[in-house]
Structure 1
Amino acid sequence: MKDLVSILDGNTFMVSDRRGDIEPSYDFPTGLFSFDTRFLSKWVLTLDGERLHPLSIDTGEPYRTRFFLAPGEPTHYLDAKASVIRNRAIVGSIEEELTVLNHSGGEVEFTVRIEMAADFADLFEIKHARQKKGRTTATVAENELRLVYRREAFHRETVIRSSAPAHVDAAGMTFRIRIDSNSEWTTRLHASTIIYGARGEDIRATLPYGGSRSADAIRAEQQELIDRAPKLGCDCEPLAGAYRRSLNDLAALRYESIALGVRLIAAGLPWFMTLFGRDSIITSLQVLPFLPDLIPPTILMLAGLQGHRVDDFRDEEPGKILHELRYGETAGFEEQPHSPYYGSADSTPLFIILLDEYERWTGDSALVKRLEPQVRAGLEWIDTYGDLLGTGYLWYQTRNPETGLQNQCWKDSWDAISYADGRMPGFPRATCELQGYAYDAKIRAARLARTFWNDPEYANRLEREAAELKQRFNHDFWIADRGYYALALDADGQQVDALTSNIGHLLWSGIVDESRAGKVVEHLLGPRLFSGWGIRTLAEDQGRYNPIGYHVGTVWPFDNSIIAWGLWRYGFRDEAGLICDRMLAASRYFDGRLPEAFAGYARDLTDYPVQYPTACSPQAWSTGTPLLLLRVMLGLEPQGEHLIIDPAVPPGMGRVELLDIPGRWGRVDALGRSRDPQGGQGT
């Protein structure tokens, strides 16, 4: 992603190289995308047959980019007799203002050519290098190229128009132009993406934000969201920069569901521009104290799509919350099970946790009462279908061995769950953090049952089950001679003994015995797990450790934010502050935008965090990380109708002031100040 440039506005995004060009690729999703389909796979500009080279790129706004280009090799820049500006914006579709400037002393003729193509590839086809099964045709009209894809009732179109006269053919547009000395020529190119429904209508035209919008309208909408968030004043520039970037990215990541026409937060660009159960829930938990009104659409969408039957293909079971929802061709023709797909064991307890946390912040009891059946169904799933072996633990094993996910916890890559020596267990698997989530879900649901559903007997039962789970878990998962919890239990009930960041999630859930919390913290902040920038997903002395392995040694910002929250919960405020400080320090090297993951190299080895090669950026739960870290540093916790503020700002960070924090209390302000050299602490 480092050498690629992206722009996005919710439903639509475009990824190009640093020239602004797109070339056909099944290696990485460059192109113009909307709702899981690539509507442009080629968009290559030449001037007199030459490719251009980037001088500078302006990426100040998520939905707009300007490329400043010149012909010739880089050593020829000073002699360039022409330059080109590509001013590109997503405004429901793509608009590109193309300007050629003549810097010579006389009139010059140029041939401007843009090669254009649309392969209409589904994201899964790109990821797995699959070929199309439908048919693409091209229709040429005056200053217009229409690219059409059909496969039975699946119908998509890309329509490209130019404001200047062009010679149009099936592969692009050519402009033969004459420019006076020190003058310029401009055309405006408009690429529309059309998604046809069963009745032949453009589906998005019926959505509130589905049609074309002006750049001013997009800017105003995104700014309105940013203006609703609390105002941050601080002495720490990395914190200020990360907070600004997070709000901007959250505004850009919102997209409209075709199914319900509501605004949701997509999980991340480029692979995950859709609703994910786990990702969307955790992002909602991170964002909740700052923009609580963004949360109900996600809760309601997940509740509305809750599993209601046994479907092996989709890993669906009654009461289960979805993993991923897709709109593309492979999902529509059931070549992939993502319509929706239910292959995650953690989405269901996390859904219950989010609903409770949302009510604690907002006082929205109506939503809690409305979703009582869905919460009860989720708890029933945890105790029945989720407990595959009848041992009282939450297990996972896909029902769909052909296309289902093997690992259905947050570390869902194939090699993420292993013993310390690198061997991998069989299935089913019960990872430790799943048990923590189940424990927390039952504790929280008990509060909802007692307070809102008038069912104290059910509340008592849930609390009793949670206490039994905690006792059993601390016996079965604790590795006494090593002082940490096992990553998982295998199908024989044996401990999968790798040392991982998962144990930090246990602190957040509250399932850790108080007497063992200190040992867990020692491991989390010890040199095997802690890189100096953050906590690695897998300790560096484990068999499968790889500092650039997706879930086996990299550092994930969201993971660290949940761990910091857990450290705070158990009273380890200095240790939580250290993670906050190092995460924010790392953000400086990514222009304030924490990526999905970065390499697990030790800080004293690299001096800066090393980019993971294919990390999503922006990614929702990384975007939410600075917000949750801010909550942790200021010690924000709802208590009835009040917000408790108990700051512990890391040393050297100075003043941190958050104004107008929304919630059931109205709006309140929080101020924290780091310790000065003499040990003083502001409040």
Structure 2
Amino acid sequence: MPRSNIRILDGNTFVVSEDTGDLEATPSEPTGLFSLDTRFLSKWVLTVNGERLNALSYDDLQYYEARFFLVPGMATHYVDAKLSIIRERAVGGSFREKLIILNHDEKPVDLEIRMDAGSDFADLFQVKDEIVNKKGEIYAEAETDRLRLGYRRGNFRRETVVTSSATARYDKNGFAYSVHLEPNEQWATDIEVQTIAVGPGGRDLRMGLTGHGPERQALQHDLEQWVKNAPKVNTEHPWLGSTYRRSLIDLAALRYSPLSLGGQTLPAAGLPWFMTMFGRDSILTSLQVLPFAPSLSKTTLRILAALQGTRFDDFRDEDPGRILHEFRYGETAAFEEQPHSPYYGTADATPLFVILLDEYEKWSGDVALVKELERECRAALRWVDDYADLVGNGYIWYERRNTDTGLENQCWKDSWDSLHYRDGRLPGFPRATCELQGYAYDAKMRAARMAREFWGDPAFADQLEREAAQLKERFNRDWWVADGEYYALALDAEGRQLAVLSSNIGHLLWSGIVEHDRAAKIAEHLVGPRLFSGWGVRTLAEGEVRYNPIGYHNGTIWPFDNSFIAWGLRRYGFAEEAATIANGILDAARFFDGRLPEAFGGYDRELTRFPVEYPTACSPQAWSTGTPLLLIRTMLGLEPHEGHLSVDPRLPIGMGRIEVLDIPGRWGRVDAFARGRLDMHQLTA
């Protein structure tokens, strides 16, 4: 089935096109060639003899390349087509396109081949808001051997330079070829599109990037090595293996290289809107994929540590010790029309940074990194105690100081209406969500281990453990909703509960802050009919006032959310419930060709029979890509234990046999095996 958003990407560069390969930006679709938060091509339309082309088929060959098979005219002309056009496209450091024209006629033909090219140089935020209001100068310069499109505003400059291997005639709106083809003859040309991003001092910012290599062969080799280095998953399950491979490939595609940081890569959050570093998303994705791609954790930690907050800056919501939320390189960030340069307005990335450092050491044995980042880790813990406690009662709170463009909700459910009282009213500020307190508890417990074992500071370790115990006691008193037997979504500044049932309670399990005598009730809620749809756990329970099965954070199902919920259930011994969630999410993955989206509808499985797509979900998205990997870890019970890998499998019915071979860690590489009961109906479906 043709798609109107063919996507190829390679870390810092991505292309979203029509199924013909054309780029023609519209207000409702992020079409174009994007890099560094800027659209470098908004128009790239191929015609032959003045006629637009139609797609016979297309092939997403790899994440970084695609091929389009085209003919002139409408579908009714296909049977008589005497001309074929092939567009081969790849991204990797730059944008390359090979055009191949084949004449199938018995007569020679003369062709006028044209590519209309243009750029609005829109900032990605402008594209998302559907308001492209440029304050600088857009220009186009046709030279004898190239077309130069550009935008300048002060010392901010972006350029797109187009060249061709075949001789072309360039004008300000594109370029053209006059081609004569004999019967059964073909013609081809290679087109290269280079993107240039000039910053202060006239330096090309892209020179700071180390791409995966500009040539297809280098990109292919990089992908092969990436897959080769990951554990091998063999399974009797009909689609788990293909879902795992899809996740590995998408994870490779989402590797992002921040500028001026030596070519290190960390997971970008997702395409199309979030192809940049996100503190929370990069950390949680790194946690998900630790048994499969541990190198991402190390670079994520180092990069976020290098950009840790050092001062008080109300515009960027920055504090000393705070881990960034988001970093952008586009025009609106450069001219401080929005604060993402970087922006620190998130309350969860800072404790999560500490959690990832400890978990990474447990897997890798990389004591050197734990010692290297001791100062940053202590600064993060100080932020939790000194700057995040806005009310003075020992909890993490948030309230934006940048009231114009900062985020209102600085938790993972960051949409404006994701937090509310039972009657649907929105609370004032500051706000404290339940999972933030779980992260703080977990961070203190993990930091205590690192302080005792690696930093040589047992007194600090004892202090952290006392503080964690006190936090756990307070939390279980203040957050427990007695008439529903679950934890409140949040507290307001007066200590009143936002007593609604939400998926956030699952994060409390993986953090360990839940009292054991209450865990069974939490598990019951998570797989009960109000939260669990059959496909996964809804963000908000059915029956709550603001519940909406296609509400962004008020009833949809987020695969990443479910993966951490399942992991938390295993931590508390609820293996069957964890397997139920894993089974639902992995069943849903097959309807998305193994690529789980950011979110999908929370409709009951019996009602829809298939997961309903959320219209603006990112895909691929990093923590959705990491979801199958964490679910595999959870089902097999893979946990580092005293320098060894512990395996305690609990598979859902229908999973069959799973082998995970060459799992990397401080133990070298080991294998894990598990066998579950097959569902014969599933195998024949």
Q: What TM-score range do you get, normalising by the shorter chain?
A: over 0.9
SS in 2 for 1:656: strand
Q: Tell me how far apart the structure 1 counterparts of residues 580 and 403 of structure 2 sit (CA, whole Å).
A: 42
Question: TM-score, normalization: structure 1?
Answer: 0.97
1:648-681 residue CA offsets vs partner (Å, 9 max, x unmatched): 1111111100111111111111000003689xxx
Match of 2:638 among 631, 636, 639: 636
Shift of 1:103: 2.5
**Aligned residue type for 1:536:** R
Structure 2 CA distance for aligned equivalents of residues 609 and 407 of structure 1: 28
Q: Structure 1 residues 3 and 608 mapped into 2: Cα distance closer, same or farther (>3 Å)?
A: farther
- Taking the TM superposition and a 5 Å limit, the aligned residue runs for 1:314-333 are 314-333=316-335
1: CA distance, partners of 2:107 / 2:490: 74
Q: Which whole-Å CA distance do the structure 2 matches of 1:180 and 1:453 have between them?
A: 76
Q: Partners of 1:81 and 1:552 in 2: how far apart? A: 53
Q: Does 1:402 align with 2:404?
A: yes
Identical pairs, percent: 62
Give the AA of the match of 1:22: L
The answer to whether the Cα contact below 8 Å between 2:445 and 2:464 also exists between their aligned partners in 1 is yes
Query: Cα RMSD between the aligned structures?
Result: 1.5
Residue 358 of structure 2 is matched in structure 1 by 356
User: Structure 1 pair 384/201, CA: closer, same or farther in 2 (3 Å)?
Assistant: closer
Distance 1:90 1:562 in 2: 33
| Other structure's SS at 1:266 match | strand
Q: Which residue is equivalent to 1:431?
A: 433
Q: Deviations over 1:100-138 (max 9, x none)?
A: 222222112222221100111111121221411111211
Give the structure 1 partner of residue 109 of structure 2.
108
Alignment equivalent of 2:574, drawn from 572, 575, 598: 572
Shift of 1:182: 2.8
Structure 1 residue 627: deviation in Å? 0.6
CA distance in 1, matches of 2:626, 2:678: 29
Q: Which residue is 1:244 aligned to? A: 245
Query: 1:226 matched to which residue of 2?
Result: 227
Alignment partner, residue 253 of structure 1:
254
Q: Is the 8 A contact 2:58 2:68 kept in 1?
A: yes
* Deviation sequence 1:557-610 (CA, Å, 0-9, x none): 100000000011011111111111111111111111111111111111111111
Q: Which amino acid aligns with 1:134?
A: G
Residue identity in the other structure for 2:258: S
Distance 1:512 1:142 in 2: 70
Q: Spell out the pairing of 1:128-167 with structure 2 (5 A cutoff).
A: 128=129, 129-167=131-169
Q: Describe the SS at the equivalent of 1:155.
A: strand
Is contact 2:208–2:260 with CA below 8 Å preserved after alignment?
no
SS at match of 2:275: coil
- State the 1:7 CA deviation: 0.5
- Distance of 1:375 and 1:368 partners within structure 2: 9
Task: Give the deviation of 1:245 after TM superposition.
Answer: 0.7
Match in the other structure for 1:23: 24
Q: Which residue of 1 aligns with 2:658?
A: 656
- Report the equivalent of 1:618: 620
1:546 matched to 2:548: yes
| Structure 1 position 7 matched with structure 2 position 8 | yes
Asked if the contact 1:420–1:499 (Cα under 8 Å) also holds between the matched residues in 2, the reply is no
Partner residue in 1 for 2:56? 55
Query: What is the one-letter code of the residue matched to 1:396?
Result: Y
Q: Deviations over 1:465-512 (max 9, x none)?
A: 111111111111111111111100012110001211111101111111
Give the secondary structure class of the aligned counterpart of 1:225.
Answer: helix
Structure 1 pair 132–676 and aligned structure 2 pair: CA distance change class (3 A): closer
Moved more, 316-325 or 138-147: 138-147
Query: What is the identity, as a one-letter code, of the residue corresponding to 2:353?
Result: F
| One-letter amino acid of the counterpart of residue 78, structure 2 | Y
| 1:681 equivalent in structure 2 | none
Deviates more, 1:340-349 or 1:222-231: 222-231
> 3-state DSSP class of the match of 2:276?
coil
State the match for 2:77 in structure 1. Answer: 76
Q: Which residue of 2 aligns with 1:666?
A: 668
- Residue deviations 1:360-395 (CA, integer Å, cap 9, x gap): 111111111111111111111111210100011111
Structure-2 residue corresponding to 1:38: 39
How far apart in 2 are the matches of 1:35 and 1:203? 9
- Counterpart of 2:538 in structure 1 is 536
Distance 1:676 1:97 in 2: 47
Tell whether the 8 Å contact from 2:209 to 2:260 is kept in structure 1 after alignment: no
Q: 1:294 aligns with which of 286, 293, 296?
A: 296
1:371 aligns with 2:373: yes
1:446 aligns with 2:461: no
1:549, CA displacement in angstroms? Answer: 1.6
Structure 1 residue 208 displacement after superposition: 3.4
The question of whether the paired residues in 2 share the 8 Å contact of 1:344 and 1:409 is answered with yes
The residue type equivalent to 1:18 in the other structure is D
Q: CA deviation at 1:93?
A: 0.7
Distance 1:519 1:615 in 2: 32
Q: Secondary structure at the match of 2:239?
A: helix
Distance in 1 of aligned mates of 2:422 and 2:5 = 37
Say whether the 8 Å CA contact 1:160–1:190 is kept in structure 2: yes
SS, match of residue 38 in structure 1: strand
Q: Which amino acid aligns with 1:666?
A: G
Deviation, structure 1 residue 197: 3.7
Q: State the match for 2:683 in structure 1.
A: none
Whole-angstrom distance in 2 between the partners of 1:595 and 1:80: 38
Residue 336 (structure 1) aligns with: 338
Bigger Cα displacement from structure 2, 394-403 vs 574-583: 574-583
Tell me the SS of whatever aligns to 1:15.
Answer: strand
**Aligned in 2, Cα 1:676/1:532: closer, same or farther, shift over 3 Å?**
closer
1:95 corresponds in structure 2 to 96
Q: What secondary structure, in the 3-state scheme, does the structure 2 residue paired with 1:273 have?
A: strand
1:416 Cα offset (Å): 1.0
More deviation, 122-131/661-670: 122-131
Judge conservation of contact 1:653–1:674 (CA < 8 Å) in 2.
yes
Structure 2 unaligned blocks of 5 or more: 681-685
- Cα deviation digits, residues 19-65 of structure 1 (max 9, x gap): 11111333332110111111101111122222222111101300000
Partner of 1:169: 171
Q: Which amino acid aligns with 1:601?
A: Y
Looking at structure 1, the residues matched to 210 and 671 of structure 2 have their Cα atoms a distance apart, in angstroms, of 34
How many angstroms apart in 2 are the aligned matches of 1:85 and 1:204? 30
Say if 1:593 and 1:623, in contact at 8 Å, map to a contact too. yes
Describe the SS at the equivalent of 1:548.
Answer: coil
Contact 1:143–1:164 (CA under 8 A) maintained in structure 2: no
Structure 1: tracts of 5 or more residues without a match? 679-683
Q: Work out the number of aligned pairs and report it.
A: 677
Q: With structure 2 as the length reference, what TM-score do the two structures score? A: 0.97
2:217 counterpart residue number = 216
Secondary structure, counterpart of 2:339 in structure 1: coil
Q: SS at 2:220's partner residue? A: helix
> Which amino acid is 2:403 matched to?
P
Trace 1:464-483 onto structure 2 (pairs within 5 A). Answer: 464-483=466-485
